[in-house]
């Protein structure tokens, strides 16, 4: 995920450059299936360390100030996702910061997912910028770069007693990563497959039990998901978990989500997890940075309110569970409007927060009293 308003448009342009596909498939309404359990009840809290350092306070439903991880754990979270950027201008979400916060995560008894962007800044379907240090590297050197960087971060976490339970090799890599060398053009997955194999091998060399995740934002249609995962499978890429992003305003109905999860789960024989989802609790804006999602056009009739947010999140979990998925992660539930924690790592103090209406904590740090993560 990245809080850019042009995200959907950029992804569409990038995808059409790779291959022309028919419109997203829409399926029938979701139907309850045999009871399944969501074992990965997650939250991506990558921004929270910066917020806390700036003095942010977090309050539970009773109004008591507490550590945000304790509050989230109290409403069902058992897994934390942290993004890592190679050399961000602000320093935030670099290896050192992730290592430091991983200790807090593990001390709380929570599992840990590391989300490798392989960039100095946001990577998503519309952009996959190489880190500056790798800017002039071709595909051969990039394979070594991905292997070495992945192995270094993973082993550093392992050696301090915070071995990651799972890692993502790339973030929302709908048409590849480390562009342009790792971009899928004319349906050619060769270079991307080489990079994914390097990341997989590095992770397993670090710790054989760490699950490798391949993550796209292809919850919008089975055609898009099949194009991507068929493409990498045909090149011999291995992975352990198939991950999707789902935002109803971009990816369609819950019925469609159900169909996509069911299809990729059965087609590839791997557990499926939604590593990103979110919903607005207000249409208002807390700062001078326009919101990524304005909240004025709610999905499934859910208003942008505490109740609407909690209901939509509950329905997403129900849909994932009924489709046989194993987990759902809320993206950046703790990122409320704290001055100095802006969206742009190159200007973190001078930019605002495009996600302040999407967090599960309001602008003074009170948690949504109705939000729950449920097995």
109-118 average pLDDT score:
98
The helix-helix angle for 190-206 and 222-234 (nearest 10°) equals 70
Q: Which CA distances in Å does 149 have to 4, 201, 202, 345?
A: 27, 12, 9, 20
Helix and strand totals (H; E) in the chain: 10, 8
What is the rounded radius of gyration, in angstroms, for the C-alpha atoms of the chain?
A: 19
> What's the pLDDT band for 144 if we cut at 50, 70, 90?
very high
CA distance 347 to 89: 8
Q: Which CA distances in Å does 285 have to 51, 293, 336, 353?
A: 18, 10, 11, 9
Candidate list 276, 289, 312, 332, residue with the active-site label: 276
| 188 DSSP assignment | B
188-211 average pLDDT score:
98
* Catalytic annotation present for 172: yes
What digits encode the pLDDT tens for the residues 98-110? 999 999 999 999 9
Select 40-331's CATH number: 2.40.10.340, 3.20.20.80, 3.30.540.10, 3.30.1330.10.
Answer: 3.20.20.80
Cβ-Cβ contacts under 8 Å for 75 (sequence gap 6 or more): 367, 371, 372, 373
Residue 300: what pLDDT? 80
Structure tokens given for 354? 């495009």
Segment (H or E) for 7: helix 7-18
> What's the pLDDT band for 297 if we cut at 50, 70, 90?
confident
Among candidates 127, 115, 177, which has minimal Cα distance to 4? 127
Among candidates 318, 333, 235, which has minimal Cα distance to 277? 333
Which residue shows structure tokens 């993550």? 215
CA dihedral 57→62→311→11, nearest 10 degrees, is 10
User: Across the strands, what pairs with 124?
Assistant: 127
Which residue shows structure tokens 């999905």? 299
More confident site: 336 or 301: 336
Q: Is the pLDDT of residue 128 over 70?
A: yes
CA distance 277 to 372: 14
> What's the pLDDT band for 2 if we cut at 50, 70, 90?
low
Q: Is the peptide bond before 362 cis (omega within 30 degrees of 0)?
A: no
Please give the mean pLDDT across all residues of the chain. Answer: 92
* Catalytic annotation present for 289: no
CA distance 261 to 246: 11
Residue 24: what pLDDT? 30
CA distance 331 to 1: 8
Q: Is the pLDDT of residue 65 over 70?
A: yes
CA distance 143 to 278: 33
Q: Is the peptide bond before 180 cis (omega within 30 degrees of 0)?
A: yes
Structure tokens given for 238? 């291995």
CA distance 78 to 95: 23
What digits encode the pLDDT tens for the residues 239-294? 999 999 999 999 999 999 999 999 999 999 999 999 999 999 999 999 999 999 98
User: Across the strands, what pairs with 114?
Assistant: 82, 167
Residue 27: what pLDDT? 33
Q: Is the pLDDT of residue 23 over 80?
A: no
């Amino acid at each position: 995920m990245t809080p850019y308003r042009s995200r959907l448009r950029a992804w569409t342009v990038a995808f059409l450059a790779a291959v022309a596909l028919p419109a997203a498939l829409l399926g029938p309404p979701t139907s309850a299936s045999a009871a399944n359990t969501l074992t990965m009840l997650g939250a991506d809290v990558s921004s929270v360390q910066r917020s806390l350092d700036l003095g942010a306070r977090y309050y539970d439903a009773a109004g008591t100030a507490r550590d945000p991880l304790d509050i989230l754990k109290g409403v069902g979270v058992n897994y934390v996702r942290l993004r890592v950027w190679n050399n961000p201008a602000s320093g935030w979400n670099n290896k050192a910061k992730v290592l430091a916060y991983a200790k807090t995560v593990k001390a709380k008894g929570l599992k840990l997912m590391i989300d490798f962007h392989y960039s100095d800044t946001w990577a998503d379907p519309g952009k996959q910028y190489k880190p500056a240090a790798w800017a002039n590297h071709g595909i051969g050197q990039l394979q070594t770069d991905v292997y070495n960087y992945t192995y270094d971060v993973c082993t550093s976490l392992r050696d301090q007693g915070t071995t990651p339970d799972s890692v993502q090799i790339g973030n929302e890599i709908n048409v590849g990563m480390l562009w342009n060398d790792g971009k899928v053009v004319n349906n050619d997955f060769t270079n991307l497959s080489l990079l994914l194999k390097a990341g997989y091998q590095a992770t397993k060399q670090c710790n054989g039990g760490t699950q490798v995740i391949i993550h796209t934002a292809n919850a919008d249609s089975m055609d898009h998901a099949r194009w991507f995962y068929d493409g990498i499978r045909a090149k011999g890429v291995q992975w352990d978990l198939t991950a999707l992003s789902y935002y109803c305003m971009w990816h369609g109905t819950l019925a469609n989500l159900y169909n996509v999860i069911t299809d990729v789960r059965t087609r590839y024989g791997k557990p499926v997890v939604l590593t990103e989802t979110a919903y607005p609790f207000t249409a208002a804006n807390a700062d001078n940075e326009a919101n990524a999602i304005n909240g004025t056009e709610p999905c499934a009739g859910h208003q942008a309110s505490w109740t609407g947010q909690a209901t939509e999140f509950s329905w997403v979990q129900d849909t994932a569970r009924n489709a046989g998925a194993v987990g759902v992660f809320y993206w950046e539930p703790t990122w409320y409007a704290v001055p100095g924690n802006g969206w742009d790592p190159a200007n973190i103090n001078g930019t605002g927060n495009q996600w302040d209406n999407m967090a599960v904590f309001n602008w003074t740090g009170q948690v949504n009293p109705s939000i729950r993560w449920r097995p």
